[in-house]
Structure 1
Amino acid sequence: MTSKIDSNAPSPITAIHPALAAALAAKGYSALTPVQMAMMNEDHDDADLLVSAQTGSGKTVAFGIAIAPTLLGNDACFDAAAAPLGLVIAPTRELAIQVQRELDWLYAAAQVRIATGVGGMDMRTERRALDRGAHLVVGTPGRLRDHITRGALDLSAVRAVVLDEADEMLDLGFREDLEFILGAAPQERRTLLFSATVRRGIAELAKTVQKNAVRIETTGSTEQHADIEYQVMLVRRDEREHAIINTLLDSDSSSALVFCHTREAVRHLTARLANRGFRVVSLSGEMAQSERSNALQSMRDGRASVCVATDVAARGIDLPNLDLVVHADLPSNPETLLHRSGRTGRAGRKGICVLIVPEHRRGAVQRVLTLAKLTATVRAAPGIADIEARYRRRIIDAAASAAPPDEAESDVVAELLDRVGPERVAAAFLRTQMAAHPVPEDLVPLPAEALETKTSGRDRRSADKHAPGREPRGPDMQDGVWFTLSLGRKHRADPKFLLPMICNAGGVTKRDVGAIRIDDTETRFEIAADKAAGFADQLKQPGSLENGIIIAPAGETPERPRYAKPKFKPDGKPTRKHQAPSADRGKAMKHKSRKPKRPS
């Protein structure tokens, strides 16, 4: 049985347990999200539920609404706390603590008592809380199993179990723990399983732990999260960090989350942002729980505005007012992309997701977006002019909204205007405010054609395959000087090895090289006008090029030196077979010269 809710239109709060309805009204809820509305179906009151919903869609309140009839029945509040009636299992410490906070206010009128069992916290404190009795227990799989094994957690009275973000728990290897915990709970319980996607592993888990579960989809399978705007920011491969800095400076976000693949990358980027004046914290698996809690609290109370995190460390965290997610490292699969991006655009709030993509990874990001069924706009990284213009607008807006001088300030203001004048006062204010902002990075702009939107990674590869030559890697050349190189398609010439060869031969950097156009028998390339003379002089130095390869200004056809032996035949094949380096070759020859001994 499947129940599918496709409408995004919120509805008034109705048919909710009275104790929860009062809490929702006090919290300012005038409407519910689709997943919360789906939980109010009276036909589902006693059923197991398999729910797929977007991250940040209000799932905690949703399953709080769903299990209320099971836990409370017709009672207005709970009886004295004893063995727990409900159990919520979450993949991470942060998510478990977040769930506990949400259920605290949601069930406050019902006089709920909630205990936690979370890895990294003091186990003795948790055990004392369990001994005092609880109506609900919220925890992570490993710690809950420990409490059950040691006899501190009795699940014999449990009526409802919720598995929150079950796909994450499977990814983290908690399946055995989940089966152990659910095996200690009564068979006649309700089991609610929430997951962003219902892939094969989730479906198999549902068959194992649920009975005739009702399948609930709160969004269409191909519908993009309407509250998240995806942007692909193409940059040169050596300017990725500069683009991250400028993206943060150009944003109006008060809270941003930056994702990296590794702990080392998190440490490096955190240090870089701190040096640039950002209020930044980090989250990674090597941190103690107290450090993680302090970092998240800094983000919540505004002492920090940027959090740099790894995927695992950031799973399940909920930061208020988070409206910008930056992928410093490209997600390797669509699930990672969706889970990262789901930290913003939560519960009706708008968010922006920016993927920082080096040019050579454009095809990879397009494949991930296609698999995730997402569309994104391609844009260039903001430059110094863009960011400074934003700074100036902020300064003017701040000055325009400032209150008039009070009595204590009026004399000093009058003296300033009399002695200095309004223009110099305004200039001094502007300079002070501009100096308080971090200085943006100078980025080399990409050619306009590089920012053209492509529908898929395959489109771009096929376009490159049939293109007459390679588009400029360096800055757009003004009066650039063209040279020729005596390798072409027949010699299997490729920009990947031609560009380093050109730079090494002429003593230039890749930014000094413009377009590289590969023809059948030769390659034409462009050198910046101010570097061309030095490039030509460097080519005359002995040893600048391998034998058989010639670079000359375009239009000149110098005779090939008689001593130069071409490395390529006309058919494109090398003149001799590849040989190992001399040391290895000597060993090989020595080994080859040994004759096997004849049997005696």
Structure 2
Amino acid sequence: MGFERCAWRFVLSLLGSVPSIMQTELSFEDLPPPLSGALARRGFTSLTPIQRAVLEPDTVGHDLRLCSQTGSGKTIALGFVIARDILSDEPHEPIPRNERGAMPVALVVAPTRELAAQLTKELTWLLRPSGHSCCTITGGASYPQQMRALRMEPSIIIGTPGRLRDHIERGFIDMSHVRSVVLDEADQMLDMGFREDLEAIVDRAAPGRRMHMASATFPPDAQALAKRYQVDSRTVFGAEPGEINTDISFSAHRVRPSDRFAALVNVLLLQPEERTLVFVRTRADAATLAQQLAEAGFLARPISGDLEQAERTRTLEAFRSGIIKVLVATDVAARGLDIADVSRVIHADPPGDAEALTHRSGRTGRAGKKGHSIILVPPAAEEAVTRMFSRAKVHVRWTAVPTEEQVWKAADERLLASLQDALHAHDDPDSEPEPDRLHALAERLLREARDPVPLVRELLKRAHHGGPSEPRKVETVVVERHKRMLSKEHADRDSWLPFRINYGARAGADARRLLAMVCRRGRIQGSQVGAIRIGEAFSTFEVQAQVVEAFLQHVRKPDPRDPHIRISRFDPQYFKGKGTPRPAREPKAHLLVKRFAKHHQAKHRGQG
């Protein structure tokens, strides 16, 4: 079923009499029938702010930048935008058949396979009533299977940058009739190094196409890409710029690195049945932490790019269904995950910047539900994390890590509430249960017990009501406000401090070259270098706090080999708005060193 030719004109004329759609309650009946019918069948009763914003009259005929938090209904908003681009009443040439593959009218690019799959799922039910089909093209999937899907002539293709570019350059996706190109989570794709792929894809699109970008944040590199490809663009907000998701509460715990795992266990045990997403720095950290949690009794699994697609799918389905309660993820792996009822996000490693905090925390508090974002902060990182909270404009409640006594008290209260609910149910004469084996056993135990208290105590011990693990002892961190938090005596060897180097991608920087330069200049080992973030003009990296003092002494000396290269301490607050680099690809630097060492050894064995 197609759109009536005047449908969008009718909607826009209807809305043109009001100053802003953000101030109007838009009814589904005001939308074209295919869209309103699809929304009604899915149980929608109202539109979110970002969905209403893209329907404003002044967005028609413009490329859009959708700036909205995750969980705000952004996918449906993108569906409205695509529908307007491809279903308008403007005349279009008939689309010929591409014998080699597909000739779509819309292309959506996403950073991860999971986000591409989620977009396909949502856009399919929304746009199918208008006669349009969707297809997913992502890395890690079978080429023959994707070729068969493309030959089915999908009108909308959703995929990841590398695989989409591959199919386009091979001629299996003909871009000559594309009217709408959407880059979802554009900043994340740039962080992951997909700039060249994105440019190659957009360059192939038909002249006059619309190009829309969507993200919770628009850092300088994303703005530069938008300026290059968008024409007469408009920015639409799901909320006022800088407004945070009020459904998410934030709290932070000061934790010594040596107590991180114990603190995480205690936080999880406060509400062991809640679906929880735990963030760490690298893939290796995700695998290690998930294994430690599993050994402690938690139903936990890692999610990272190291997993095969089939295993990733099984892991996510187990998390959605509640088979596993804790998912340990990296920033990249979790981008685009849309899992209902994630009540907590725990940052076992603090986010690298305010944007990472926004994206991570956005996995909870979705669709109007409440969520909680919890950050474990090592003392040496407290100042940087505090500045990050300020930049993100979030109110954070600093509290001590739950103690063993607090964890047990919470467990006892849960058990009491559960038992009282069960007893109240038995008090109802209409629901009196028939005597059964357990009823008879309970009567026998009470008859034979001299004192019911020891009996109940033993039953409680066997019930393991505290959760899958025993709570841990965590040392309280004393806040010394009149001393430097980053001094040598307080710096822990597992803490990392940020540095800046005036060496970026424009000068040919990559993680391998920068790592070698930093180790040579600072006379440190690769294992003492943490996260590396390559920027356009400059880059940042982390150094283990234990060696920072000696590192600074070495890098301050002039370098005859690279006299123009300068290394200094990095203050994210000072460089706010000046192109702070985005996080580089994993893995951590010392893992990169091991990889090159293995390659070098294998090469020499081959020569021998």
Does the 8 Å contact 2:184/2:214 carry over to 1?
yes
Q: Is 1:16 aligned with 2:58?
A: no
- Aligned mates of 1:252, 1:105 — CA distance in 2: 35
**Worse-superposed segment, 235-244 or 252-261:** 252-261
Aligned to 1:439: 470
- Aligned mates of 1:35, 1:67 — CA distance in 2: 14
Q: SS at the partner of 1:208?
A: helix
1:170 to 175, 190, 195: 190
Q: Is 1:370 aligned with 2:390?
A: yes
Q: Is 1:28 aligned with 2:50?
A: no
- Aligned mates of 2:255, 2:394 — CA distance in 1: 21
2:320 to 300, 304, 312: 300
- Code of the aligned partner of 1:408: D
- Aligned mates of 1:90, 1:264 — CA distance in 2: 24
Aligned to 1:464: 483
Superposed CA deviations along residues 124-177 of structure 1, whole A, max 9, x for unmatched, are 111111111112111011101111112211222222121111111111121221
1:136 to 137, 152, 156: 156
- Aligned mates of 1:498, 1:230 — CA distance in 2: 26
Superposed CA deviations along residues 430-456 of structure 1, whole A, max 9, x for unmatched, are 222236721110122344x66xxxxxx
Superposed CA deviations along residues 201-253 of structure 1, whole A, max 9, x for unmatched, are 22221122221111212323332321211111012332111111111111366
2:116 to 60, 79, 96: 96
Superposed CA deviations along residues 384-428 of structure 1, whole A, max 9, x for unmatched, are 111111111221222233354334344444444444486566434
Change (3 A) 1:422 1:26: farther
Unaligned runs of 5+ in 2: 1-17, 427-432, 493-608
Does the 8 Å contact 1:279/1:306 carry over to 2?
yes
Q: How does 1:71-220 map to 2 (within 5 A)?
A: 71-73=86-88, 83-220=103-240
Aligned to 2:498: none
- Aligned mates of 1:99, 1:203 — CA distance in 2: 23
- Aligned mates of 2:159, 2:143 — CA distance in 1: 12
Change (3 A) 1:391 1:12: farther
Does the 8 Å contact 2:412/2:465 carry over to 1?
no
Q: SS at the partner of 2:121?
A: helix
- Code of the aligned partner of 1:41: E
Aligned to 1:49: 64
Q: How does 1:405-444 map to 2 (within 5 A)?
A: 405-409=433-437, 410-420=439-449, 423=453, 426-434=456-464, 437=467, 438-444=469-475
Q: SS at the partner of 1:95?
A: helix
Does the 8 Å contact 1:237/1:360 carry over to 2?
no
Does the 8 Å contact 1:274/1:280 carry over to 2?
yes
- Aligned mates of 2:213, 2:49 — CA distance in 1: 17
Change (3 A) 1:383 1:59: same
Does the 8 Å contact 1:165/1:194 carry over to 2?
yes
**Worse-superposed segment, 384-393 or 220-229:** 220-229
Q: SS at the partner of 1:439?
A: coil
Q: Is 1:278 aligned with 2:309?
A: no
Does the 8 Å contact 1:87/1:160 carry over to 2?
yes
Structure of larger gyration radius = 1
- TM-score, normalised by the number of residues in structure 1: 0.70
Aligned to 2:550: none
- Aligned mates of 2:275, 2:348 — CA distance in 1: 16
1:303, CA displacement in angstroms? 0.7
Q: Is 1:224 aligned with 2:244?
A: yes
- Aligned mates of 2:490, 2:293 — CA distance in 1: 35
Unaligned runs of 5+ in 1: 451-459, 471-493, 501-600
Change (3 A) 1:411 1:464: closer
Q: Is 1:269 aligned with 2:284?
A: no
Superposed CA deviations along residues 57-85 of structure 1, whole A, max 9, x for unmatched, are 1110111122223333479xx99997322
Does the 8 Å contact 1:17/1:68 carry over to 2?
no
- TM-score, normalised by the number of residues in structure 2: 0.69
- Aligned mates of 2:139, 2:32 — CA distance in 1: 32
Aligned to 2:357: 337
Q: SS at the partner of 2:47?
A: coil
1:257, CA displacement in angstroms? 0.9
- Code of the aligned partner of 1:235: V
1:398 to 397, 400, 418: 418
Change (3 A) 1:45 1:496: closer
- Aligned mates of 1:22, 1:412 — CA distance in 2: 57
- Aligned mates of 1:47, 1:120 — CA distance in 2: 35
- Code of the aligned partner of 2:85: T
**Worse-superposed segment, 360-369 or 304-313:** 360-369
Q: How does 1:576-587 map to 2 (within 5 A)?
A: none
Aligned to 2:276: 256
Aligned to 1:59: 74
- Aligned mates of 1:108, 1:240 — CA distance in 2: 48
Q: SS at the partner of 2:30?
A: coil
Does the 8 Å contact 1:227/1:345 carry over to 2?
yes
Superposed CA deviations along residues 71-116 of structure 1, whole A, max 9, x for unmatched, are 33479xx999973222111011111011111112223433542111
- Aligned mates of 1:60, 1:70 — CA distance in 2: 15
Aligned to 1:546: none
- Aligned mates of 1:148, 1:230 — CA distance in 2: 44
Q: Is 1:324 aligned with 2:355?
A: no
**Worse-superposed segment, 88-97 or 312-321:** 312-321
Q: SS at the partner of 1:132?
A: coil
**Worse-superposed segment, 165-174 or 3-12:** 3-12
Change (3 A) 1:70 1:369: same
Change (3 A) 1:213 1:427: same
Aligned to 1:531: none
Does the 8 Å contact 1:236/1:359 carry over to 2?
yes
Does the 8 Å contact 2:21/2:56 carry over to 1?
no
- Code of the aligned partner of 2:79: G
Change (3 A) 1:73 1:412: farther
Q: Percent identical across equivalent pairs?
A: 37
- Code of the aligned partner of 2:483: D
Change (3 A) 1:46 1:391: same
Change (3 A) 1:348 1:266: same
- Code of the aligned partner of 1:427: R
Q: SS at the partner of 2:290?
A: helix
- Aligned mates of 1:93, 1:436 — CA distance in 2: 37
1 or 2 for the larger relative contact order (CA 8 Å, sep ≥6)?
Answer: 2
2:332 to 312, 320, 325: 312
- Code of the aligned partner of 1:266: A
Does the 8 Å contact 2:269/2:466 carry over to 1?
no
